Chain A
């Protein structure tokens, strides 16, 4: 049949990736500067300020100066923020307010292509951010192992583990009323309590399993292990599995919600 599209279905999502890449290329102004300056300020203030107190009281955290101890977790929190920041409002805008996903759905793209294109772009961006951050973290002397080369990949996985389910969620709601609640009661506590600024051993024993239920905790644990080349590989694979499972479930859910939104 001559009328059937030449391009295979699996490749279609790249056209949607291209849209997001172009969009970013046109609108990034300023975000790159802040994404380099922010981590430097962050490390300078927390690392040097709090680090001074830590050095005064105990000396080292798990064998590291405080600055070096918290430097890798910056990659985890940043890729987490990238994942959630690209998901809630931007997705709701695309399916409801400006409806650009509806426009895309009238072309050969299927809803899943639109989803894959979006997520693959967010992952691309996260990976590139991860490369820059790994260099910055290394510059602060906090990468001590060749495992550090996996940091950008870990960052990409963290981003996907948030972007996928949040995109799926945003594609099905009718208003952004719940988003602020999610920020206040999920993202902020997650940012603060995922053993981001101290080891999980700082929590009393009964709280540790609770912290382990928090997705970001697995990201923080992973980047730390990769940067310092510490911890058993098996444990790290568990963290990867948790994040991977969340990402996959998010993608599967997103296929359903985006399809409902665009074609039902």
Chain B
């Protein structure tokens, strides 16, 4: 271990990564390095280039430009070897709908050349993990959306990956299934598995990610630990106010005197302040009458809004 740089065991490194589809540039030169055992997040609005980036770092899609190293290998020349050590949860489930839940796992495991006996054991274990044991012989077509998602996640673990790449893994999961997945991801992390995750859920990113990047329009607009990003890009607290149907401009102007920053969203106004209670009293004192008000701590949601001008909830 050296004092600077190189101290961490780097699993994946991207430099100036570009992905173009015809003339359209989906990823416009991004740089990042991910250490072993780290949970690294990608946040960004729809179309930011997250999936395009995930597909490149899964050693599937070829970068148009830039350099990429995974496990110290070049995916252009060592694609199969690299992919053999990666688990991928794609954004769309891409399951074989006509086949049973169990066969979906076994077939996928065969792609990694796992022997039948091992496959059967792992399938049992993963079915248990995904809470699909009872549905093992059901056709995937008959499963609910959340069950399909759980199966896709289970399938990605069949090769016991060193690096797990999850593109919006919890979209469509109920809260219980989501927390179960978090718990399982913590466990994998403790075992030294590196996790890369994209998500639209800020609480998820804050809970899981050691570090994350915010992507917008194919570029990285911020990078850091969740708390760090919040401190850097937002105030300590936030007041959420609702004013009936719409928020007239004069209210906005009036509010601006009470906060470091004001964001007017279609359904509410956000005031960025150091001390929420103090500021809220001041708002009420100045004669404004919001229908409802709420004081909370700043979150990644606010960072996101600040950096991209968009909210994450679609």
Residues of A whose CB lies within 8 Å of any CB of B are 1, 3-7, 9, 12, 15-16, 18-19, 22-23, 26-27, 98-100, 102-110, 262-264
Contacts and interface: CB of A to CB of B under 8 A. Distances in A.
A26 B83 CA distance: 28
Contacts of A9: 80
B61 interface: yes
B201 interface: no
A207 B111 CA distance: 49
Nearest to B107: A19
A5 B81 contact: yes
Given A107-B108, A264-B61, A5 B94 contact: no
Interface in B11-40: 21
Contact of B107 (A4, A22, A108): A22
B84 A106 contact: no
A4 B60 CA distance: 17
Given A16-B111, A23-B96, A106 B88 contact: yes
A102 B94 contact: yes
Interface of B: 21, 58, 60-62, 71, 73, 78-81, 83-86, 88, 90, 92, 94-100, 103, 107-108, 110-113, 155, 159
Given A19-B110, A26-B103, A98-B96, A105 B90 contact: no
A152 to B, nearest CB: 27
Given A26-B98, A263-B62, A99 B81 contact: no
Contacts of A6: 113
B110 A108 contact: no
Contacts of A7: 113
A15 B110 contact: yes
29 contacts: A4-B78, A4-B81, A5-B80, A5-B81, A12-B113, A15-B113, A18-B110, A19-B110, A19-B111, A23-B99, A26-B98, A26-B99, A26-B100, A102-B60, A103-B90, A103-B94, A103-B108, A103-B155, A106-B83, A106-B90, A107-B83, A108-B79, A108-B80, A108-B111, A108-B112, A109-B111, A263-B60, A263-B62, A264-B61
Contact of A264 (B62, B71, B110, B112): B62
A100 B113 contact: no
Contact of A98 (B83, B86, B95): B95
A16 B112 CA distance: 11
A108 B113 contact: yes
Contacts of B107: 18-19, 22
A181 B153 CA distance: 40
A6 B111 CA distance: 13
B98 A27 contact: yes
B160 to A, nearest CB: 13
A100 B96 contact: yes
A18 B90 CA distance: 23
A6 B88 CA distance: 21
Interface centre among A9, A102, A110 (most CB of B within 10 A): A102
Contact of A110 (B58, B79, B86, B95): B79
B246 to A, nearest CB: 42
Q: Sorted from nearest, which 8 A-B pairs have the closest CB atoms?
A: A107-B111, A99-B94, A108-B80, A106-B88, A103-B94, A4-B81, A108-B84, A19-B107
Nearest to B75: A263
A51 to B, nearest CB: 41
B235 to A, nearest CB: 41
B155 to A, nearest CB: 8
Nearest to B83: A108
A110 B159 CA distance: 17
Nearest to B87: A106
Nearest to A20: B107
